[in-house]
Amino acid sequence: MKVVGAGLGRTGTASLKSALEHLLGGTCHHMFEVDSAEQARGWHAAAEGNPPDWHQFLADYTALVDWPGASFWPELSEAFPDALVLLSQRPLDEWWESVNATIFRGWKGSPDDGDDGTLARRDMWQSIIKNRFLADTSDRKSSIEAAAAHNQAVIDTIPADRLLIYTPGDGWEPICEALGLPVPDIDYPHFNSRQDFLARFADGE
């Protein structure tokens, strides 16, 4: 594990996933990778206080960003002490508008019935958001305060020489400098806009 992403969802994490996969040549974990009941149950158990062996659980990944992994940045930064900790963030008013229209809306709308994987992912998300972020994400003020506290905890805990604070739009250079890698001769990726996210839910993903 070369990068532990501590940034909350809707801070450019899908684009970061693509960028890190290009730079590191491996798979970057993201909520997109929670595509099986087994994975979802592993994260769910961690949220309930029964974490897996992180090295075994994440053996197939060279980096991690986004929820659910970002909720476990203290454990993961300790389990992978040589990894860069990447805190992606954006102005919190903007973050709230985005997350409330996408992630929070989507998971609130998850059906009570569905296949095993769908139910497992719903249960995972509800446990993670309650136990590792905020019980009631419908309140704008409390959600913004929780996000600010999350970001500040990362900044206060991770040594500066191990931490990269990254804002969408910063491009390749800060990441490449932090990892000691050359800047690619291609445009930085841009994925998972609000419209893309809502279209996936409309299609039943």
Average pLDDT over residues 26-41: 93
Task: Supply the pLDDT for residue 204.
Answer: 43
Among 54, 73, 41, 42, residue whose Cα is nearest residue 149: 73
CA 129, distance to chain mean position in Å, is 12
Q: What is the pLDDT of residues 35-50, one digit of tens each?
A: 889 999 999 999 999 9
Task: Supply the pLDDT for residue 7.
Answer: 98
CA dist 12 and 20 (Å) reads 12
Domain ranges of the chain: 3-202
pTM of the entire predicted model: 0.89
Mean pLDDT of the chain, nearest integer: 90
Task: Supply the pLDDT for residue 195.
Answer: 54
Task: Supply the pLDDT for residue 171.
Answer: 96
Write the single-letter amino acid at 141: K
pLDDT at 21 over 70: yes
pLDDT at 114 over 90: no
Location of structure tokens 């991690």: 64
pLDDT at 111 over 80: no
Higher pLDDT, 111 or 164: 164
Task: Supply the pLDDT for residue 104.
Answer: 87
CA dist 150 and 133 (Å) reads 8
Q: What is the pLDDT of residues 142-151, one digit of tens each?
A: 999 999 999 9
| CB under 8 A, 24+ apart: contacts of 12-15 | 12/88, 12/90, 12/166, 12/167, 12/168, 13/65, 13/66, 13/70, 13/88, 13/192, 14/66, 14/191, 14/192, 15/168, 15/188, 15/189, 15/190, 15/191, 15/192
Which residues, including other chains, have CB under 8 Å from residue 68's CB and lie 6 or more apart? 31, 34, 43, 46, 47, 124, 125, 128
- Confidence category of residue 198, pLDDT binned at 50, 70, 90: very low
Under 8 Å between Cβ of 77 and 4: yes
Average pLDDT over residues 71-85: 98
pLDDT at 75 over 90: yes
Looking at CATH, the fold of the domain delimited by 3-202 is given as: Rossmann fold (3.40.50)
